[in-house]
Structure 1
Amino acid sequence: MKRILFIIFLLLVSISEAQLLQNKTTFTKQDTLRGSITPEREWWDLSYYNLNIKVQPDKKYISGYNIIRYKVLKSHNVIQIDLQEPLEIAAFTQDNEQLDYTKIGPVYFVILKKKQVPGAYNELYVQYSGSPKEAVRAPWDGGFSWKKDKNGKHFIATSCQGLGASVWWPNKDHMYDEVDSMRIAIDVPKDLIAVANGRLRDTYDYEYGDYRLYEWYVDNPINNYGVNVNIGDYVNFSEVYEGEKGQLDMDYWVLKDNLDKAKKHFKDAPKMMKAFEHWFGPYPFYEDSFKLVEVPYLGMEHQSSVTYGNQYKKGYLGSDLSRTGWGLKFDFIIIHEAGHEWFANNITYKDAADMWIHEGFTAYSENLFLDYYYGKEAASDYVIGTRANIQNDKPIIGQYDVNNEGSGDMYYKGANMLHTLRQLVENDDLWKQILRGLNSEFYHQTVTTKQIEDYISTITKKDLSAFFNQYLRDTRIPTLEYSHQKRTLKYRWINIVKNFDMPIKIKIGDDEKWIFPKSEWQTIETSSSKKPITIDRNFYVRSKEY
C-alpha cells in the first residue's frame, strides 16, 4: 500500500508540474505584451523601487504605492507598467502631475508629460489597491496565500513565479531588467510580523491605530518574482556562517510553535551553504543576508528570503523523488530553493523560455549537495534515479517573447543533461571551475541560453552546440545502436539532431574505453565477442543491441 501511495504521489507531482509548465500552441496580444521587451519598456532602465503596502488580513485587501526610479536610455513619452486585476491603479503621477494612461488587460501605457532626456533619472509614483488574486495552490498558482496557523492567527505569503510580480504590486514585469536595489515597507496588524527580502532596517509603531510598519531594504539587484512578503506570528533565530566572503548572517523566521523543531531541522542550511559555496562560489548576496522564512505553502526561491513549507521533513514532504533513498538525506526545499540563490537570483534568465537555466542547474544542485557530503556514487544514484520523472513530452526551451516556459523536463532532464556534460568534461576541477565561473562571469546578470552554451563551450574547448540542441531543443533521447559479433563492435547514434557526435564511455567486459559514435556506422576490434557491452550509466542515453 505504501508503494502504491508513493507512486500516486509522484504522478500528482508530475501532473502538477506539467500543468504549470505546459507550452501553449497559440498566443495572444497580452502574451506578447507580458513576454516581450516592448518599445514602452526598452527605452528606460530600472534603478530603484520604493514599495509600500498595507495588508489588511481580515479583508484580504492591500493598498499602497510604488515609486519607480529609472534611467532614461532614449527619449520616449509612453511608459509601460504592469498590474493584474482585480487590483486597480488609483493614480500615476510624475513631478506631482497626474498622468493619463490607456489600458490593455494588466498593461498600463502611461503618457508622460515631462520630457524624457537620455541619461536623466526620473521617478514615477504609482498608487494602487484592491483584493489581490488569491493563490489556489501556491506556489504553482501564484498570488496571495491567506491562511491561518493552528492558533488561529493570520499566516500570509506571496508567490508569483511565472504569473508575474504584477499579480500583487505594480512594476516593470519582465525578467530582462532587474532593479538595482529596493525598499519594501509593509504595514501589518501589531500582533503579526512582516518579513521580506534583504535586511530589516526598522520598525515603526503608529501613534494611533493597531498597525506596525516593517521596513526592509535590498542592497543587490533583484528579479521581480524574487520579491516577497510573508506575514505571521513569527519568531526569529540566527547564526553567523564563516563563508568565502567573510561572515554571512543566516536568519530563520518561523512560527513560534515551531521554534524548537526549526532549530534542529534547519541545520541543513549551513550544510547547504558550505556545499554550494564549494561548487558555485560565494553566496551572491552577503550584503542582504540569507533567510529561511516559514510559509503556508511548499516553498519558493525568493532572493535572500527563501520560503519554506516542507513540514520539517526530509525529502520532498517526506518522500524521495529519486526512489534511491538518497533523497531522504536532506530537506528538499532547503537545498533546492536555496540553490536558486545562485541559479535564478544571481544568474537570471532574460526570457521565460530559458527557465531551464534556473531549474536545470538547481535540480542538479541537489546532486552536488550529495556529492559534497556522500561522494560521487551516491550523487550519481540520485540524479539517475530522477530520470523516472522525465516525460520527454516537449522541448525544454519554450517559445520566446510570449512569457512561455518550456517543458517541466527542465528540472530532471536538465539535471541529467548537466550530469552527462560532467562526464564529457572528465576533469572535476574543470567542472567546478565552470560552475563557479558561470556565477562569476554572469554575476547579478540576466542571461540567455546562448550565453550559457557559449561560455561552457569556450571553457571546455568543445563545440557543444549539437549537444545542447539535442537535450534542450529536441525530445528524443540519443540511442546507441550496436552489434557485437566476430570480435567486432559496430555502433552508431540514432534518434539524434544534426551533427550530434557525443563520445561515450562503455565497458567491453571489464575493459573501460571511450568510443566516438556518429550517425554513420563505425567499428572497433575487441578481444572476444563473448564479453558483454555495458553503457556507462552516467550518460543520459538509451542503447539498442541488434
Structure 2
Amino acid sequence: MMKNSTHCILFLIILFGNFTAFAQIKARTYSLADTLRGSLNAERTWWDVQRYELAFKPDYINKTIAGANEIMYKVVKANDGKTRMQIDLQEPLIIDSIWYNGKLKLTFEHVGSVWYAHVPAQKITALNRVKIFYHGSVHQAKRAPWDGGFIFTTDSLSRPWMTVACQGLGASVWYPNKDHQSDEPDLGASLTMTIPDTLVGVGNGRLVLKKNNNDGTVTYKYNVQNAISNYCIIPYIGNYVNFKEEYPGEKGKLDVNYWVLDYNLNKAKTYMPDQVHKMLKSFEHWFGPYPFYEDGYQLIDASHTGMEHQSAVSYGNKYKFGYLGRDMSGNGWGIKWDFIIIHESGHEWFGNNITTKDLADMWVHEGFTNYSETLFVDYIFGKQAGNEYNYGIRKGIRNDSPIIPAYGVNAQGSGDMYPKGGNMLHAIRHSMNNDELFRSILRGLNKTFYHQTVTTVQIENYFSKTAGYNYAKVLDQYLRTTQVPVFEYYIKNGEVFYRYTNCVTGFNLPLVLKKEDVKTLKIVPSGEWKHSKLLSGQNALLTEAAIESMYYLDVKTKK
C-alpha cells in the first residue's frame, strides 16, 4: 500500500525493488488533514450513511468532471442544529451547493479537503438526505494505481479510456462522501455516468438504465444492493463489449459478467472463465459462498494492473499467468495461474465482505487475501504446492516497520501485511494441524462478520475462540513488531530441548512436525527452556530447513 494510494498488490513492488513509501513510515508525523480523514469526530459520528446516489459526467478533453452525490443517512446521535456535517472532497474539486431533503439550501465552509455543511436540528433515527453538487479539475493518477486518482488515458487504438483507482488516497479524490472505512452505505449505492455515445460505461453491480440522450451522449446507471466501501465504487468507460455466464455456486446461480475491450474479446472468452471458475470453486470451498450474489461478479479490463472493486474487479494483467508473466514465488507455482484474477477476487471475501473500520487494520484485507493465493494453489495443485508457494513469497518480507501503525490518522502499516501476513496465517494453520478446523474458521469469519466493518481485535478474538487456543501473542508478534522469532533447539540423550527468543513475552506458537511413517511431534515452546522425549524417527523431523519451510521463524540449532 502506498502512502497516497492503497493497492492490493503492493508487495509486488517490494519483491521487485521499487518500494519507497514505507521506508519513511516510522519517521512520519501526522497532520490535521490526516486526523480529519482518519478519525471519527463529532462532525461524523452523529450520522450514519445509508446510501449513495452518485451521478457524474467526465470531460475527457479538459480532464474535468461535474456531478452530484445524494447521501441518504440516519441520525444516530442528537443534533441540535449547531453540529456540522463533515463532507470530504479533495482539492482541486469544488462543491457548488448542498441541498437538504431537496428543499433547503445549506451554507457550508471548508478547510482544504474537508467541507462542513451547516444542517438543521434532526431527531434520532430520522432518515434524511443531502445532495451535493460539485465540479472541477480532478486529481489525476500519474502512475495508476500506485499513486491513485482519476485516470484519463487511451487504449491501444488511441481511443478514450477512463476509470479511477483511489484506495488509500480516498474516494473523496473524485466524489463527495464520508471518506472513512467504518461507514459503508448500508443500503448500497448507484452510479450514473453520462458519457459520449461512442463509449460504454460499466459500474459496480447491475446495469439498471441505459438512455440515449440524443445529444451525442448516453447515460448508464448501475445499482449495488449490498453495503460497499466508498473506494470500491468505480466507473469504467471505454470501448467495452460484454459476454456473460451463470456459475453454479454454493448459493445457486451466480451471474458472471466479463467486460473487455473489443479487441480482447476472443482471447478473453477462452482465458477469463477458466481462471474465474477455479477461483470461485477454491474460494467458496475455503471461505464460504461468494458474498455478493445479489450484485453478481464482474471482471473488467482496466488500464492499470488491477484492483478489488466490489462486484466489479478490475483486470490489467495482460492475459498472462503470474504477475505480468512473472512468478511471484520464484519456484514455479506462481506462474501457473493469473495472479490478478485470483488475488483481487480474493478481496471479495477479505476486504469487501469483511472491511476494517480503520485503515491501520488493513492487514485483515491484505494478509488474508495474500494467503488466499496459497489456498488457491493448495486447492488446485495440492498441499505441497501450497507450502512451496507460501515459502517462496517470504522473500518479500522486509520487517521495516510494524504491520499495524497508529490508529485514527488514516495511516497504513508496512507492506509486510501481504507476504508476512500470509506467512503468519500459514504458520498458524500448521500449528493447528487440523485443516477442517482452520477452514471452518475462515468460513466462520465470513459468516459471522458478513457485510460488516471490523477491528483487528474482533478478528483476533474470533480466531482464538474458534480455534480453542489463544493466538493473541502470536498475532501480536507478527503484526505489531518487526522481530522474527528465533526457535532454538538441541537434541541430547533422546530428548529435544527448545525455546523461543527474540519475541514478545508469552509468544506461544505451537510447532507440529510431520513426516510419513514417523509419529507426529507437537511441541509448544515458550521463552523458557523445555524438553520433550523423542520417539523413533522423530530426530529426522528436527531440521532447520524443515521447520523454517512451515513456520516463519529463524531456526537455530544450539551445539
Q: Give the shorter-chain TM-score range.
A: over 0.9
- Offset from partner CA, 1:180-211 (integer Å, 9 cap, x none): 2111100110101111101000111113x211
**Whole-angstrom distance in 2 between the partners of 1:344 and 1:497:** 28
Q: Please give the residue correspondences for 1:271-350 in structure 2 after superposition, counting only pairs within 5 Å.
A: 271-350=278-357
Q: Please give the residue correspondences for 1:45-64 in structure 2 after superposition, counting only pairs within 5 Å.
A: 45-64=48-67
**Whole-angstrom distance in 1 between the partners of 2:290 and 2:513:** 38
8 Å contact kept, 1:21–1:407: no
Question: Counterpart amino acid of 2:293?
Answer: Y
**Whole-angstrom distance in 2 between the partners of 1:391 and 1:331:** 25
Cα displacement (A) at 1:20: 9.7
Rate the CA distance shift 1:527–1:148 in 2: closer, same or farther, 3 A: closer
**Whole-angstrom distance in 2 between the partners of 1:359 and 1:17:** 19
- Offset from partner CA, 1:408-463 (integer Å, 9 cap, x none): 00001000111111112211111111000000000000000000000011111111
1:541 aligns with 2:553: yes
Rate the CA distance shift 1:21–1:343 in 2: closer, same or farther, 3 A: farther
Q: Please give the residue correspondences for 1:402-441 in structure 2 after superposition, counting only pairs within 5 Å.
A: 402-441=409-448
Question: Which residue of structure 1 lines up, in the alignment, with residue 5 of structure 2?
Answer: none
Please say which of residues 246-255 and 21-30 is displaced more in the overlay.
21-30
Question: Counterpart amino acid of 1:144?
Answer: F
SS at match of 2:326: coil
Question: Counterpart amino acid of 1:457?
Answer: S
**Whole-angstrom distance in 2 between the partners of 1:67 and 1:370:** 43
Question: Which residue of structure 2 lines up, in the alignment, with residue 174 of structure 1?
Answer: 180
**Whole-angstrom distance in 1 between the partners of 2:77 and 2:538:** 72
**Whole-angstrom distance in 1 between the partners of 2:438 and 2:470:** 16
TM-score by length of 1: 0.95
Question: Which residue of structure 2 lines up, in the alignment, with residue 5 of structure 1?
Answer: none
Question: Which residue of structure 2 lines up, in the alignment, with residue 260 of structure 1?
Answer: 266
1:243 aligns with 2:249: yes
Question: Which residue of structure 2 lines up, in the alignment, with residue 138 of structure 1?
Answer: 144
Q: Please give the residue correspondences for 1:359-374 in structure 2 after superposition, counting only pairs within 5 Å.
A: 359-374=366-381
**Whole-angstrom distance in 1 between the partners of 2:383 and 2:94:** 53
SS at match of 1:493: strand
**Whole-angstrom distance in 2 between the partners of 1:320 and 1:353:** 29
**Whole-angstrom distance in 1 between the partners of 2:239 and 2:46:** 43
8 Å contact kept, 1:490–1:524: yes
Rate the CA distance shift 1:337–1:310 in 2: closer, same or farther, 3 A: same
**Whole-angstrom distance in 1 between the partners of 2:403 and 2:525:** 25
SS at match of 1:287: coil
**Whole-angstrom distance in 1 between the partners of 2:149 and 2:354:** 24
**Whole-angstrom distance in 1 between the partners of 2:524 and 2:297:** 45
- Offset from partner CA, 1:18-62 (integer Å, 9 cap, x none): 559945531011111000111111000111111010011111111
Cα displacement (A) at 1:490: 2.2
Question: Which residue of structure 2 lines up, in the alignment, with residue 203 of structure 1?
Answer: 210
**Whole-angstrom distance in 1 between the partners of 2:288 and 2:489:** 42
Question: Which residue of structure 2 lines up, in the alignment, with residue 212 of structure 1?
Answer: 218
SS at match of 1:238: strand
Q: Please give the residue correspondences for 1:441-456 in structure 2 after superposition, counting only pairs within 5 Å.
A: 441-456=448-463
8 Å contact kept, 1:21–1:405: no
Rate the CA distance shift 1:526–1:72 in 2: closer, same or farther, 3 A: closer
Gaps of 5+ in 1: 1-8
Q: Please give the residue correspondences for 1:29-44 in structure 2 after superposition, counting only pairs within 5 Å.
A: 29-44=32-47
8 Å contact kept, 1:486–1:529: no
Question: Which residue of structure 2 lines up, in the alignment, with residue 477 of structure 1?
Answer: 484
Rate the CA distance shift 1:475–1:189 in 2: closer, same or farther, 3 A: same
Question: Which residue of structure 1 lines up, in the alignment, with residue 122 of structure 2?
Answer: 116
**Whole-angstrom distance in 1 between the partners of 2:93 and 2:155:** 26
**Whole-angstrom distance in 1 between the partners of 2:139 and 2:234:** 15
Cα displacement (A) at 1:498: 1.1
Rate the CA distance shift 1:335–1:528 in 2: closer, same or farther, 3 A: closer
8 Å contact kept, 1:236–1:252: yes
8 Å contact kept, 1:235–1:254: yes
Cα displacement (A) at 1:516: 2.1
Question: Counterpart amino acid of 1:69?
Answer: M
8 Å contact kept, 1:505–1:512: yes
**Whole-angstrom distance in 2 between the partners of 1:451 and 1:10:** 30
Question: Counterpart amino acid of 2:93?
Answer: L
Equivalent position to 1:81, from 77, 84, 87: 87
Cα displacement (A) at 1:524: 3.2
Cα displacement (A) at 1:97: 2.3
Question: Which residue of structure 1 lines up, in the alignment, with residue 166 of structure 2?
Answer: 160
Rate the CA distance shift 1:153–1:131 in 2: closer, same or farther, 3 A: same
Question: Which residue of structure 2 lines up, in the alignment, with residue 232 of structure 1?
Answer: 238
**Whole-angstrom distance in 1 between the partners of 2:23 and 2:357:** 19
8 Å contact kept, 1:279–1:368: yes
**Whole-angstrom distance in 2 between the partners of 1:38 and 1:88:** 23
1:498 aligns with 2:512: no
- Offset from partner CA, 1:206-265 (integer Å, 9 cap, x none): 13x211100100110001111101111001011110111111110011100010111111
8 Å contact kept, 1:185–1:213: yes
Cα displacement (A) at 1:515: 1.9
Cα displacement (A) at 1:489: 2.7
Aligned length: 536
